[in-house]
Chain A
Amino acid sequence: MKSKQRTLLCLILCLPLLSVLLSGCWDDRELNELGITSGSAYDWENNQWKATYQVINPSSGASGMGGGGGGSTSSPPFLTFTVKGRTIMEAIERTNLTSTREMFFSHSRITVIGESLARHGINQLIDMFLRKQDARETVFVFITQGEAGDILDQLMQMTKNQGAGIQLMIEQEAKLMSYYPGTRLYELAMALSSESRSAVLPEILLTGPQTMDETSETGVTDLPSRLALGRLGVIKGDTFVGWLSQKQAFGLSFLTNNIDSATLAFASQPTKSDKLDASFILQNSATTVHPVWDKDHYVMNIEVQGSGVLTELGSVMDLNDRKAIREMEASLEQQVLSLVNDSWTEVKRLGADVTGFAVRIHRSDRKRWKQIEEERSWDRIFQEIEIRPQVSIEIERTGLSNKSFKSVQQE
């Protein structure tokens, strides 16, 4: 009797164990049921979201980073779907009407925002990225002037996974050139929710008139149309307000301490000619910003300190002469100074605090910031800000030769 009860108890206890088997498999996905999305693009058209998704086509061997092109007749490395919906998720859901696979966003690398959407406002998009479980807020965000979806159609050479390729492009750029810091989605969200309420997004564009979207077209060495990074889009609040040119973007990088390494062209003998005849690689650069309240407006004391190597010299010069070096350094400093001032003028004109001055002021003077917030006078105060940049650049080394080739010739 007792053992019978025990058996019964055991059986009852085993029943829920069976449900363990049920519970897990509900969300299992085999790899060949997934549409691995490497990039997405969003436009605003007729008061509707227009979303384009780039889905990796695994059987084309898209994992291979090299060997793209070569006139292969195989299927394209990725496919794109364009869908429309009143909300983003509605659009995403509609991909299931055309796609054989479930969209899988965890491996997305980039998101391109069309200018139309940027003018409409991007907060809903950011919210979706932060909220949805498999959306990655580490995607790099770009802005494009025309239709964002067209960007995703373009095939790239040297890499088959276009999304990953664009990510590599911006990472390389930020590391070696420092014109634009790559903006990840969470950085965008943080910048827009900070005191500045502004952010910058690099522009991505097609250099040629037509889109290269056939695998046979990438089999040439010099593509007529490529993807390239262009200007810097400025977002204020959640809408697009204007562009900064590449030079202004470079200046902004100095203002916001985003220089990793950069090449500067400058005039080696500014007293003799304005010709830009020398290059310099800036290897280290640090910017400090100190806001100071000067009676009725803020003064930003900006100190840029940098050092690097001379890499190119086209004038007659003796590099053993300390004075000549000093002269070149002064020329470099002038160069940077004009970049910074140029950039600041444009930023001020756009009225978007992409320099992060608001954060600085908040941190250094909380009382006054509170007052500014209460009065909602930041936009006015921002316009009254005066910057006082001080640049000091040191040429640490002059490379392998201490005379310019021109001076050797003249001797």
Chain B
Amino acid sequence: MFIMKLLLWNGGKIPCLKGSFFFVVNALYYTIISARIRNPIAGDNTGITSRFQQKGVSEMPHNQKKSTRTTKDPAETSVPAPLPLNLSLEANLQEISRRIGDSSDIVIRKFNSESPHSLSLCFIYIDGLVNADAVNQMVLQPIMENGALNGGTLTTGAAFTLIKDHMLPVGGVKEGATLEGLLPLLFEGYTLILFEGLQTAVAADTAGWEKRSINEPTSQGVIRGPKEGFTESLRTGTSMLRRRLKTTDLRIEEYKIGQRTGTGIALVYLKGLASEQVLAELRRRLNAIDTDAILESNYIEEFIQDGGLTPFPTIQNTERPDAMAGGILEGQVGIIIDGTPFALLAPSTFFNFFQSSEDYYQRYDISSFLRLIRYGAFFVSMLLPALYIAVTTFHQEMLPTTLLISLAAQREGVPLPAFAEALLMELTFDVLREAGVRMPRTIGPAISIVGALVLGQAAVQAGLVSAAMVIVVSFTAISNFVIPSLAIANSIRLIRFVMMFIAASLGLFGIMSFLMVLLIHMAGLRSFGVPYLSPVAPMIPRYLKDIFIRVPLWSMDIRPKTNLGKETRRQAPHQKPKPAESANGPSREQQNPQGEGPA
């Protein structure tokens, strides 16, 4: 519309093309509807499964094609054939330095026994990846100071057994016969021990590097609840989950993905709760990833999430181990990625993004209220500027007279049409927001001052925008931060602009049409086979206890199978606290709070 305005600046009327417009909307609608009818939303578990399997089958060839294409490229990676170790220590060392170069952080320590012609060993580790104390005291010292080894009485084979089985006081000791097996261990902080005249080597786990300590999550804070967040270390992450889920059912599967980064990835789930189909599909998709680098969880997320062209996230990310434990307890599968504190949870429905872990840490009534506010904020954040544009440019009759007059008074002297005004202000806010993220912390206050000028009274007084528009933009911005998940908050940031554009060209009618299109799109989305809008569409009333409101914990007896886990009993029923029953009816003792024991 704005472009049209520019073209016809003198305000000529644009010819009406209503007919063609209805044609397009109808065409759009029927295309989408018919596509959905072919894949109807499954209401029951079996339906979900069959749809899920169909999807898996159809995706297979696609992935194969991708993998063949990557391996064909010779420049991409050089895959050496597995090479057994040489008998000669010198030859092995040469081969290793040919493979990994003469990097300054690689330490090679040679050891020869005191007696002339017997044992010759070589220790290799990477400085910085190992704990120097551990290497010195657990590996070098016992071997170097051992009389039997120095005495030259042992054969090399006997020395190997002695060292591997008896002399290394560390937990992880492995042996390897090829460089392909040994070098990755080196990069994980193992110390390799190579023997002259032997084709096997020992690797001792001496890993220990500088880690960030456990801190409060920066992006998902709570008032009440655990204050620790994941760190960049995969092992710290899994240990946090272990500490929370002390059950034999907890499973942690590790993968290495990324040819150059070799990033460790852990699938964390509860056996028996997580759906086997989801797990199989996750494993398949993880194994199908053929890339050279995984630096953050989003790399994984983009490779494995369903429905590529959607603004909505279908995988949650969280920094909070308690949120992840909660998800795992509902049958979701956690994916922790080494090198980032943001872990993933899949499958996730639309409503998962509105659940904050704090909902369960405070009373259910206030949690329910806050959750409703979040849904309201979602719509405000998505629609408010669009509604403002639509109402002030097309539907002025909808406003109360007094409000209309005061809006009209504010618009006197504003140079831009409402849409351009809204677009300008929204973009300004997004610029400010981005600047706030990038800006060094020391000059942070500067941005709030500048922001207040640009998005505030000064802009109104300068006659650039109307005061109402500043309020609309500010409230929209604030509403966006109410939504607990940044992933879905960001997706509506984009939808908001589309909405504004449609509102400026089609008014409320356009907004409703686009909302319908969005709804149809969302109803068709799936996250690892779970309908994105379940349990609302398909409607399963008994699973609605934790969707729009949160019922008291003692009433959530059933674990919903919306995340495709099995429907299982979470707890014993009828746990609502009540006074102990006695034969004499209510007694004085029961009225006394001390008389009530835990049921």
Do A and B come from the same complex?
A: yes
Chain A residues in the interface with B (C-beta under 8 A): 13, 16-17, 19-32, 34, 36, 38, 56, 58-63, 65, 104, 106-107, 109, 134, 161, 164
Provide a sorted-by-A list of 14 A–B residue pairs whose CB atoms are within 8 angstroms. Answer: A22-B15, A23-B16, A24-B394, A27-B16, A28-B393, A28-B394, A29-B394, A30-B411, A31-B393, A31-B407, A58-B406, A63-B402, A107-B396, A109-B401
A31 cross-chain contacts in B, Cβ below 8 A: 392-393, 396, 404, 407-408, 411, 418
Q: Which 10 A-B pairs have the closest CB atoms?
A: A106-B397, A23-B21, A63-B406, A58-B409, A24-B505, A58-B408, A24-B506, A63-B405, A25-B1, A31-B411
0/1 interface trace, chain B 422-444, chain A, CB 8 Å (1 if under)? 00000000000000000000000
B229 cross-chain contacts in A, Cβ below 8 A: none
B406 cross-chain contacts in A, Cβ below 8 A: 58, 63
Residue of A nearest to B19 (CB): A23
Residue of A nearest to B506 (CB): A24
Does A22 contact B14, Cβ atoms closer than 8 Å?
yes
Q: Indicate which residue in B402, B408, B504, B507 contacts A65 across the interface (CB closer than 8 Å).
A: B402
Does B1 contact A16, Cβ atoms closer than 8 Å?
no
Does B417 sit within 8 A of A, measured CB to CB?
A: yes
Residue of A nearest to B4 (CB): A25
17 additional A-B pairs beyond A31-B393, A34-B396, beta carbons within 8 Å, are A20-B24, A22-B15, A22-B17, A23-B505, A24-B504, A25-B14, A26-B15, A28-B507, A31-B404, A31-B418, A32-B414, A38-B401, A56-B405, A58-B408, A107-B397, A107-B404, A161-B405
Secondary structure at chain B's binding surface: helix, strand, loop or mixed?
Answer: helix
Q: Output the residue of B408, B417, B506, B510 with the most chain A CB within 10 A.
A: B408
Does B38 sit within 8 A of A, measured CB to CB?
A: no
Report the separation of the CA atoms of residues A26 and B394 in the bound assembly, to the nearest whole angstrom.
10
Does B13 sit within 8 A of A, measured CB to CB?
A: yes
Q: Indicate which residue in B3, B20, B393 contacts A30 across the interface (CB closer than 8 Å).
A: B393
Interface residues of B in 338-354 (CB under 8 A from A): none
B13 cross-chain contacts in A, Cβ below 8 A: 26
Report the separation of the CA atoms of residues A31 and B411 in the bound assembly, to the nearest whole angstrom.
7
0/1 interface trace, chain B 472-506, chain A, CB 8 Å (1 if under)? 00000000000000000000000000000000111
Does B18 sit within 8 A of A, measured CB to CB?
A: yes
Residue of A nearest to B409 (CB): A58
**Cβ distance A203 to chain B, nearest Cβ, rounded Å:** 24
Does B9 sit within 8 A of A, measured CB to CB?
A: no
Report the separation of the CA atoms of residues A104 and B23 in the bound assembly, to the nearest whole angstrom.
30
B24 cross-chain contacts in A, Cβ below 8 A: 16-17, 19-20
Does B44 sit within 8 A of A, measured CB to CB?
A: no
Q: Indicate which residue in A23, A29, A62, A63 contacts B396 across the interface (CB closer than 8 Å).
A: A29
Interface residues of B in 283-338 (CB under 8 A from A): none
Residue of A nearest to B414 (CB): A32
Does B1 contact A23, Cβ atoms closer than 8 Å?
no
Residue of B nearest to A60 (CB): B409
Does A32 contact B20, Cβ atoms closer than 8 Å?
no
**Cβ distance A170 to chain B, nearest Cβ, rounded Å:** 16
Does B412 sit within 8 A of A, measured CB to CB?
A: yes
A63 cross-chain contacts in B, Cβ below 8 A: 402-403, 405-406, 409
Report the separation of the CA atoms of residues A65 and B403 in the bound assembly, to the nearest whole angstrom.
11
**Cβ distance A75 to chain B, nearest Cβ, rounded Å:** 11
Chain B residues in the interface with A (C-beta under 8 A): 1, 3-5, 13-18, 20-21, 23-25, 27, 392-394, 396-397, 401-409, 411-414, 417-418, 504-507, 510
Does A26 contact B393, Cβ atoms closer than 8 Å?
no
Does A32 contact B505, Cβ atoms closer than 8 Å?
no
Does A24 contact B404, Cβ atoms closer than 8 Å?
no
Does B504 contact A28, Cβ atoms closer than 8 Å?
yes
Report the separation of the CA atoms of residues A65 and B17 in the bound assembly, to the nearest whole angstrom.
42
Residue of B nearest to A108 (CB): B401
Does B394 contact A20, Cβ atoms closer than 8 Å?
no
Report the separation of the CA atoms of residues A32 and B27 in the bound assembly, to the nearest whole angstrom.
36
Report the separation of the CA atoms of residues A26 and B392 in the bound assembly, to the nearest whole angstrom.
15
Contacts known (A17-B24, A63-B405); A23 close to B17, Cβ less than 8 A: yes
A107 cross-chain contacts in B, Cβ below 8 A: 396-397, 401, 404
Q: Indicate which residue in B1, B23, B397, B401 contacts A24 across the interface (CB closer than 8 Å).
A: B1
Report the separation of the CA atoms of residues A63 and B413 in the bound assembly, to the nearest whole angstrom.
17
Q: Indicate which residue in B20, B393, B403, B510 contacts A29 across the interface (CB closer than 8 Å).
A: B393
**Cβ distance B24 to chain A, nearest Cβ, rounded Å:** 5
**Cβ distance A26 to chain B, nearest Cβ, rounded Å:** 5
Residue of A nearest to B14 (CB): A26
B403 cross-chain contacts in A, Cβ below 8 A: 63
Q: Indicate which residue in B16, B411, B510 contacts A26 across the interface (CB closer than 8 Å).
A: B16
Report the separation of the CA atoms of residues A21 and B396 in the bound assembly, to the nearest whole angstrom.
21
**Cβ distance B593 to chain A, nearest Cβ, rounded Å:** 49
B25 cross-chain contacts in A, Cβ below 8 A: 20
Does B409 contact A61, Cβ atoms closer than 8 Å?
yes
A24 cross-chain contacts in B, Cβ below 8 A: 1, 21, 394, 504-507, 510
Report the separation of the CA atoms of residues A16 and B404 in the bound assembly, to the nearest whole angstrom.
35
B411 cross-chain contacts in A, Cβ below 8 A: 30-32, 58
A56 cross-chain contacts in B, Cβ below 8 A: 405, 408
Report the separation of the CA atoms of residues A266 and B413 in the bound assembly, to the nearest whole angstrom.
59
A19 cross-chain contacts in B, Cβ below 8 A: 17, 20-21, 24
Does B404 contact A59, Cβ atoms closer than 8 Å?
no
Report the separation of the CA atoms of residues A242 and B404 in the bound assembly, to the nearest whole angstrom.
39
A17 cross-chain contacts in B, Cβ below 8 A: 24
B16 cross-chain contacts in A, Cβ below 8 A: 23, 26-27
Does A34 contact B20, Cβ atoms closer than 8 Å?
no
B18 cross-chain contacts in A, Cβ below 8 A: 23
Does B1 contact A32, Cβ atoms closer than 8 Å?
no
Report the separation of the CA atoms of residues A56 and B510 in the bound assembly, to the nearest whole angstrom.
30
Does A32 contact B412, Cβ atoms closer than 8 Å?
yes
B418 cross-chain contacts in A, Cβ below 8 A: 30-31
Does B405 contact A25, Cβ atoms closer than 8 Å?
no
**Cβ distance A37 to chain B, nearest Cβ, rounded Å:** 11
B507 cross-chain contacts in A, Cβ below 8 A: 24, 28
B412 cross-chain contacts in A, Cβ below 8 A: 32, 58-59
A20 cross-chain contacts in B, Cβ below 8 A: 20-21, 24-25, 505-506
